[in-house]
Amino acid sequence: MFDLVYDTIFFASYGNIYGIGNITIGPFDILMAYIVAIVVSIIVALVLRIPLLPGKPYRYSFDVSALYPTPIIAMGIFSIFLVLNYTFIYNGIVLAAVIGILSALFVKYLFDFVFPKPLDENGGEDSNE
């Protein structure tokens, strides 16, 4: 049986399709870089005064928060860089910190512009209250 966690962690460290990828980092470095991206994005989001949790009720809330979607965006963008086999310096730690900062800024200032909230069911207006 295959080990999904092993394959997932090592996926970014494989060489690219053309064989010119000379940057390989280990699974511990990848894991540390993901943790740095998550922690930095949450801390910067809290510094920017994004709430830790969305408004109630949580299930139907379209408010942004420091826990969602900020670290999810940081992990996704960092994954793209890892798949492209680009880690910058210090085995991706600096790149992860920069992506964490940029993802928090994106969520604070551009998220509602790029992903608008759905229309209100009753009045047809935006649900900004």
Instruction: Place 8 in a pLDDT band, splitting at 50, 70 and 90.
Output: low
pLDDT at residue 34 in the model: 94
Half-sphere exposure of 20 (CA within 13 A, CB side): 3
pLDDT in tens, 58-79: 777 788 899 989 999 999 999 8
**CA distance linking residue 13 with residue 128, whole number of Å:** 44
Residue 116 has pLDDT above 90, yes or no: no
**CA distance linking residue 11 with residue 85, whole number of Å:** 10
